[in-house]
């Protein structure tokens, strides 16, 4: 029986989301004849962990659903054993990149990839703790319905399962590497207040996402598209498109990836950086691997801590670091797009050595553009006043550190890409012993 990994990384209380994703796991097992490994990577405190354990208990009664609820101590133990088995240089650094002390969207998903390999899963299906499912005719709208109809199939064989095919004939024999959709509701990045306070400041700040040298029109179009997802229109009927995936219509809270992608290349392990988990979307598209984009959009919402004093500061810092990361990611994206199908070997596997080389080369980019980005953020946030001006003050003593971290993040990514193949091989050979809802004192 085919095994799949449906995963939810979380560092916040979300028992309701765990119950909902458990129902999606049961749906997948019942309707698609798969064994679903529901993987909850839990970094919460003891009280929230216990609530999550109770919520995770319900799916254990469903046929062909196996629940793995792992606290950080269990995750660390597994990672330590895998890294030891892989016998790679800099084992302490690798452990830190896989399980850093700070929030890392890429690292938490990389842990899911590695554990999925250990479990023998053919795919990873990721959801987020600050999201929920739409409801249509009284039933939840589960994205896994489309994911399991197409993922991993030869693209030509996936055509009958989609609404429309825009598949290039040259790609018909390649596997469907990604199936995804977006979200409805609030902006995916919590900066809507900036747009309400001053639309021109919003344009200037979000425009920092654009590549240096972008035209005014390109910058304007990017700002208009950014963080909006699928808008607010509710689900009414299924739509799906096979072909080169429109990655602007895919969010990481609503994605499934075939193991042939994530077992070759990981995500950026950057800490406190939103968007660090989107690299594989670019890789799938640029490498000419087929994907399916559907319309079973997740509902996005915000949790209150993002708008409190410390939470606001932490979130705006993550947004700032995202903007700085673009200096190093755009050269990689541009080179991948130029390489196209040459990123694949004769078996349609991603050439990880090429990605590592591109990332390492990108670390030499001139920092002047990032200095300019920090200057613009400082000026714009002071113009907004209030807590935004206070955040600008907070950034002043951090400038040099942030510039250093942005460069170190791409260097760490290059190192992790080089180590990833041996880590995956070691993960497959290392039994995952800590399953279920047990929690050691080290997790508290």
- pLDDT above 90: residue 164: yes
Going by pLDDT thresholds of 50, 70 and 90, the confidence category of residue 99 is: very high
Question: Of residues 250 and 303, which shows the higher confidence score?
Answer: 250
pLDDT of residue 49: 97
Neighbour-count burial of 213, counting CB atoms closer than 10 A to its CB (0-12 exposed, 13-18 middle, 19+ buried): exposed
CA atoms within 13 A on the CB side of 123: 27
pLDDT of residue 440: 32
- Write down the mean pLDDT value for the chain: 93
Q: What residue segments make up the domains of the chain, in order of their start?
A: 3-191+227-431
User: pTM value?
Assistant: 0.95
Check: CATH 3.90.550 for 3-191+227-431? yes
Going by pLDDT thresholds of 50, 70 and 90, the confidence category of residue 1 is: very high
pLDDT in tens, 336-356: 999 999 999 999 999 999 999
pLDDT in tens, 399-414: 999 999 999 999 999 9
pLDDT of residue 320: 97
pLDDT of residue 439: 34
pLDDT of residue 107: 98
Contact 191, 319 (CB under 8 A): yes
Going by pLDDT thresholds of 50, 70 and 90, the confidence category of residue 441 is: very low
Q: Which residues, 6 or more positions from 155, have their beta carbon under 8 angstroms from its beta carbon?
A: 167, 171, 172, 173, 174, 175, 176, 242, 290
Q: How many residues does the chain have?
A: 444
Backbone angles phi, psi at 317, to 5 degrees: -65, -40
- pLDDT above 60: residue 437: no
Backbone angles phi, psi at 184, to 5 degrees: -120, 155
Distance CA 284, CA 295 (A): 19
pLDDT of residue 173: 97
Instruction: DSSP letter for 233, please.
Output: P
């Amino acid at each position: 029986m085919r095994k799949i990994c449906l995963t939810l990384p979380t560092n916040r209380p979300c028992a309701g989301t765990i119950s909902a994703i458990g129902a999606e796991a049961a749906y997948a097992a019942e309707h698609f004849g798969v064994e679903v490994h529901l993987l909850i990577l839990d970094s919460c405190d003891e009280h929230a962990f216990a609530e999550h354990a109770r919520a995770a208990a319900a799916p254990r009664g469903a046929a062909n659903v196996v629940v793995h609820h792992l606290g950080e101590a269990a995750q660390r133990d597994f990672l330590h054993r895998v890294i030891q088995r892989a016998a790679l240089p800099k084992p302490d650094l690798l452990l830190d990149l896989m399980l850093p002390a700070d929030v890392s969207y890429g690292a938490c998903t990389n842990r899911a990839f590695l554990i999925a390999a250990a479990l023998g899963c053919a795919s990873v299906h990721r959801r987020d703790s600050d999201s929920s499912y739409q409801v249509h005719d009284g039933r939840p709208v589960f994205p896994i319905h489309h994911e399991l109809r197409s993922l991993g199939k030869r693209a030509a064989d996936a055509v009958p399962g989609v609404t429309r095919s825009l598949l290039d004939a040259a790609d018909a024999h390649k596997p469907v590497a990604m199936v995804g959709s977006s979200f409805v509701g609030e902006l995916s990045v919590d900066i809507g207040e900036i747009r309400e306070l001053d639309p021109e400041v919003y344009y200037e700040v979000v425009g920092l996402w654009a590549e240096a040298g972008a035209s005014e029109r390109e910058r304007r179009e990017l700002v208009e598209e950014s963080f909006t997802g699928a808008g607010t229109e509710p689900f009414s009927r299924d739509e799906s498109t096979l072909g080169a995936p429109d990655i602007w219509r895919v969010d990481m809270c609503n994605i499934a990836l075939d193991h042939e992608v994530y077992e070759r290349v990981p995500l950026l392990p950057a800490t406190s950086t939103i968007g660090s988990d989107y690299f594989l979307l670019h890789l799938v598209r640029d490498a000419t691997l087929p994907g399916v984009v559907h319309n079973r959009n997740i509902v996005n919402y915000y949790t209150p801590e993002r708008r409190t004093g410390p939470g606001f500061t932490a979130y705006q810092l993550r947004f700032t670091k995202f903007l700085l990361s673009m200096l190093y990611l755009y050269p990689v994206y541009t080179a991948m797009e130029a390489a196209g199908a040459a990123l694949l070997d004769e078996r349609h596997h991603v050439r990880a050595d090429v990605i590592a080389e591109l990332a390492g080369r990108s670390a030499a980019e001139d920092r002047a553009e990032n200095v300019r980005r920090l200057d613009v953020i400082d000026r714009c946030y002071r113009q907004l006043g209030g807590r935004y001006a206070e955040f600008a003050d907070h950034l002043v003593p951090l400038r040099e550190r942030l510039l250093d971290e942005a460069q170190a993040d791409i260097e760490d990514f290059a190192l992790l890409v080089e180590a990833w193949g041996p880590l995956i091989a070691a993960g497959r050979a290392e039994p995952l012993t800590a399953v279920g809802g047990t929690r050691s004192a080290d997790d508290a």
